[in-house]
Structure 1
Amino acid sequence: MTDDPYLGHTITAFEGGITTHVITHPSHPDRVFAYEVTFLLQHPRVVAVASRKPPLHLHPHQEEYIEVLEGRLVVEVEGKESTLLPEDGEFTVLPWTNHRLYSPVSDRKSEGADPDTKVTRFILSGERTPEPLRLDTVFFENWYAYQDQVVLKGMKIDLIQVMSMFDAGGSYLSLPPWIPFGRTIAQVLGIVIGRWIGGILGYQPFYREWTTDWESACRKMEVSVFQRRFANRSKSLPP
C-alpha cells in the first residue's frame, strides 16, 4: 500500500462517532486497503443508529479481514453472530459469504456485555485483487459520505443508489437464504439494477465532492459503458 494516495488520510462519519484512518497493515502490507477504525460507542450519533444493522452483503472476489484491537465488535456471517475480542486475532470473511459487522452498542444488555465500554477499535483490511470493481478507499469514502446524508440530513435511503455504490465496490446486497442460487442472483441484480439501470437513470457510484482520489473513481466508472459519462476529470465540480 505504499503507493496508496489515501495513506494517512482519515475518513470521519457520524459527526466524529466513527473515524477510519488509512494505514499500511502492520503484518500484511500487500493488502489493497487497511484501516484502523474507531467507534465511539457512547457518541450520540452512534447510539442513535445502533439498532439499525448495516445491510447484509457479500463480496464475490475479495477476502475481508477484521482484527479487534480494543473493545468488542459484532460480526454476523451466514446468520450467525459472533462477538470479536482482541484476543481472537484476525477474523477472515471469505468470498461469497453473506455478512455484516457493526457496533455492539445495541448488545450492551446481553450476557457478558460491559456497559462501560466506550470504544471499539479494529483493523479492517482487504485482499488485493485484479478486479477493477472492488472494496477500496474510494468506495468506503463515498459509502460513509452517503450514510452521513441519511443519518445527519434525514435523506431517505435510495436502494438503487446503494446498489450502484455497492456494485462499484465489488459488493452485492444479500437475498433471503431460502432463495435458490441467491448469491448469484444477488450479484446479477446488483449489476443490472445498480450499474446498468442506475447508470441510465443518472445514478453514479462515486461523487466528486465526496472523493479525494477522483482519478481512481473515474477509472472505475469507465469500466461500465453506463457510467462512463460520470468520469469527468474537470477540476471544477459539476453544478
Structure 2
Amino acid sequence: MSGDPYLGRVITAFEGGITTRVITHPSHPDRIFAYEVTFLLQHPRVVAVAAQKPPLHFHPHQDEYLQVLEGRLAVEIEGKERVLVPEDGEVKFPPWTNHRLYSPVSGGADDDLKVTKFLLSAESTPELFRLDTVFFENWYAYQDQIVVKGDKIDLIQVMSTFDAGGSYLSLPPWIPFSKTSARALGIVVGRWLGGILGYQPFYRKWTTDWQSACHKMEMSVFQRRFADRSKVD
C-alpha cells in the first residue's frame, strides 16, 4: 500500500460515534485494504441506530475479513446471527455470501460495554468496481446525511454507490437465482438508470482520492460525465 493517499487517514461518521483508520496490512499483502474500525457503543448517534440493521448485501468478487479486537460485534451470515468476540479470531465472508455487521444490542451483564473495535479487510481483485476506500468513504458520508442531517434514504443512490463498490443488496432467498438477480438489478438500477437520472456513485466533497473515483466512473458510459478531474469543491 506504499504511496496510498489514504494511508493513516481516519474516516469519521455519526459525529464521531464510528471511526475508521486506514492501516497497512503487512501480514496480508494480498489484501486491497485494511481498516481498524471503532464503534463507541454509548455515543448517542450509535445508540439511535443500534436497533436498525444495515442492509443485507454481498460482494461477488472479494473475500472480506473481520476480526474483533475489543468488545463484541454482531454479524448476520446467510440469515444466521452470530456475536463475535476477540477469541473468535479472523472470520471470512466468501464472495456471494449474504451478510451484514452491526453493533450488538446491549443487555444484561454487557450494559456497560462502551467500545467495539475490529479489523476489516478484503482480498485484492482486478475488478474495477470493488470494495476499497473510495467506496467506504462515500458510503459512510452518505449514512451521515441520513443519520445526522435527517435526509431520507434514496434507494437508487444506495444502489449506485454499492454497485461502484462491488456490493449488491440481497434479495429474499425464495426468489429464483436471487443473487444473480440482485447483482443484475444493482447494475441496471444503480449504474445504468442511476447514471441517466444523475446519481453519482462518488462525490468530490466526500472523496480523498478523487482521481481514482474518476477512473472508476469513466469506465461506465452512464457515469463518465461525473468524472470531472479538475473539479474542486
Name the TM-score, length of structure 2 as normaliser: 0.98
Corresponding residue for residue 17 of structure 1: 17
Q: Equivalent residue of 1:5, what SS? A: coil
User: Is the Cα–Cα contact under 8 Å of residues 204 and 232 in structure 2 kept in the other structure?
Assistant: no
**Could you tell me how far apart the structure 2 residues matched to 1:80 and 1:207 are?**
35
Q: Secondary structure at the match of 1:184?
A: helix
1:88 aligns with 2:88: yes
How far apart are residue 28 of structure 1 and its match? 1.1
Moved more, 1-10 or 47-56: 1-10
For the residues of structure 2 that align with 1:151 and 1:216, how far apart are their CA atoms? 27
Cα pair 2:68 2:89 within 8 Å, conserved: yes
Equivalence map 1:54-133=2 (5 Å): 54-104=54-104, 106=105, 108-109=106-107, 114-133=110-129
Q: Residue 148 of structure 1: which of 144, 147, 155 is its match?
A: 144
- Separation of aligned partners in 1, 2:80 and 2:27: 28
Q: Deviations over 1:30-53 (max 9, x none)?
A: 310100000000000000000110
What residue is the counterpart of 1:205 in the other structure? 201
**How big is the alpha-carbon RMSD for the aligned residues of Structure 1 and Structure 2?**
1.0
1:117-162 Cα shifts (integer Å, max 9, x gaps): 1000000000000000000000000000000000011100000000
What is the deviation of 1:177? 1.1
Q: Which of 161, 181, 188 lines up with 1:165 in the alignment?
A: 161
User: Following the alignment from structure 2 to structure 1, what is the Cα–Cα distance between the partners of residues 26 and 111?
Assistant: 31
1:188 equivalent in alignment to 2:189: no
Matches within 5 A, 1:199-238: 199-237=195-233
**Aligned partners of 2:205 and 2:125: how far apart in 1?**
27
Distance 2:176 2:206 in 1: 37
Q: Name the SS of the counterpart of 2:153 in structure 1.
A: coil
**Secondary structure of the structure 2 residue equivalent to 1:225:** coil
Counterpart residue identity of residue 109, structure 1 = G
**How many angstroms apart in 2 are the aligned matches of 1:19 and 1:67?**
16
Task: Measure, in 2, the Cα distance between the counterparts of 1:38 and 1:19.
Answer: 5
Q: What displacement does 1:26 show? A: 4.8
> How far apart, in 1, do the equivalents of 2:192 and 2:79 lie?
30
Q: Which amino acid aligns with 1:27?
A: S
**Range 156-165 or range 3-12, more displaced:** 3-12
Deviations 1:177-227 (A, max 9, x none): 111100000000000000000000000000000000000000011111000
Q: Match for 1:95: what amino acid?
A: P
Which segments of structure 1 move beyond 2 Å, counting only runs of 4 or more?
A: none
1:44-63 equivalence runs, <5 A: 44-63=44-63
Task: For residue 19 of structure 1, give the secondary structure of its aligned residue in structure 2.
Answer: strand
Q: How many residues were matched structurally?
A: 233
1:25 is displaced (CA, Å) by 1.8
Gaps of 5+ in 2: none
SS at match of 2:2: coil
Between the aligned partners of 2:83 and 2:191, the Cα distance in structure 1 is 34
Q: Quick check: 1:43 aligned with 2:43?
A: yes
Segments of 5+ residues of structure 1 without an aligned counterpart are: none
Compare 20-29 and 158-167 and name the one that shifted more: 20-29
Distance 1:227 1:37 in 2: 30
